[in-house]
Structure 1
């Protein structure tokens, strides 16, 4: 029964996109700046199948997936029967595509919370149940002062600025610190709609060179065109025209930018 569920997962997980993990500094991104999908680890670079991904996608917890490996066969079957029963939302003794997709998305949300809470505990050095900016700097960069970060490394300098913008946006009550719930928004801003405006703002500040509030293809590409061959540029132009620019005006507006950097879960 579990193998059947894993087969369904392998068939359908490729149509599910989700967020990624960790704080904004360590947030995994595609080369074009969009957030990677949660299922990007389903297969390795060589095409090898990552079964750990399957287990986590079903159980919704890295810790539970690790514990599951050490259960007796009898206990494993017992827990799997319960899981499959919970997946079967319409109680017809079958798991269809929509039910599987809903379950995986639920699991991904649980994984995101688990990862955020783990990072929160690491960052909360004084164990007061809150993370302030200095604690984040120390956990992420090994310093409590942004001025101590090597600003000659422009990548780090820009990431600190972006981190600070997202930190402030996640601080809902504006008290200068993040509780565990606020930290989840900071850790995975692409999963929280109230954080979307700051993500769009960051993209425009970085790429909108003529400051008209839109992105042309040239602005979308930035300096990536200098690093790749013509075929890459042609492929990116095709995606820009046919996937991102939905109103076909040759520009990306804020909604189109959001659809590009935060792929839909549907």
Structure 2
């Protein structure tokens, strides 16, 4: 009995590890950074927007001299028309490209795990057997919460079929990207909204009320007073999220919440960087102007140290 329990725990861990990143619900349109955009307290948001989240970590380990040298080479790459300046269109394209690189890296990482026959395609059967194979044979008998794992399988299959545009049961790299990152594809929009509602809607009425909205973000501990930010979120719900004021968010309102298509973060960031760097106000940046403001674009050990000092000072 003990050995069976230990085996079940190990297998549960294996399945949890096998299920890839698409199981995480998309709450909001992907932003350029996990940090708040507040230049008064550092430029980490700008670093991740300009470099991509992973590359920004690399620059954080460099000296200021190394960081500026690499930045100079990046500027040459951004300046695609080779006129010696970086304009809005070039910077906007670069930032969008960096964000897309993050997605491509994530897809490539999972691709190797699931393309078992190395035909540069992933069939639904390949994905299903790799992720759930052992449990399929046992009909989830070794899993305590059978319903959860069956629900995960059904959800994966529904998303895979939606991403598989030609309906042949086989995902190309583009279709597998839509499977892992549906928020990036217009034709997956309705599915993202549906998954979000299913995860938050606890009473099963197909809508999200205020209590479900807050409950998805915060569960109070015994005796704990409600944080101030909860009041802000409640206000957002009543004044913004619930547009028709019926006390719920329906599918259209959820879509506006999590997929605000009118917001182009890359465009906003490009405008911001040019505004802060373009000293002569000619609406473009020279390499000299960029390097003079290098710590806004890229990090280093020195800038991180400075941000740490600022953070400690604020805490005091």
Counterpart pick for 2:101 among 98, 106, 110: 110
Counterpart pick for 1:169 among 155, 162, 174: 162
Q: CA deviation at 1:189?
A: 0.5
2:246 aligned with 1:246, yes or no? no
C-alpha RMSD of the superposition: 4.3
Query: Separation in 1 of the partners of 2:31 and 2:146?
Result: 28
What is aligned with 2:226?
Answer: 230
- TM-score normalised over the length of structure 1: 0.64
- TM-score normalised over the length of structure 2: 0.56
Contact 1:87 1:100 in 2 (8 A): no
What is aligned with 1:199?
Answer: 192
Q: How many residues align?
A: 230
What is the 5 A alignment of 1:5-84? 23-25=21-23, 27=24, 33-34=27-28, 37-40=31-34, 54=47, 57-58=49-50, 76=70, 79-84=73-78
Contact 1:134 1:144 in 2 (8 A): no
2:118 aligned with 1:124, yes or no? no
2:256 aligned with 1:259, yes or no? yes
Query: Separation in 1 of the partners of 2:104 and 2:115?
Result: 16
What is aligned with 2:209?
Answer: 216
Which of these two proteins has the greater Rg computed from alpha carbons? 2
Q: CA deviation at 1:180?
A: 1.0
Q: CA deviation at 1:238?
A: 1.7
- Structure 1, unmatched stretches of 5+, are 1-21
**3-state SS of paired residue (2:143):** coil
Contact 1:42 1:49 in 2 (8 A): no
Query: Separation in 2 of the partners of 1:209 and 1:162?
Result: 19
Higher-RCO chain (CA-CA 8 Å, sequence separation at least 6): 2
Contact 1:208 1:214 in 2 (8 A): no
Q: CA deviation at 1:116?
A: 1.3
Contact 2:29 2:258 in 1 (8 A): yes
C-alpha distance 106-244 of structure 1, shift in aligned 2 (>3 A):
farther
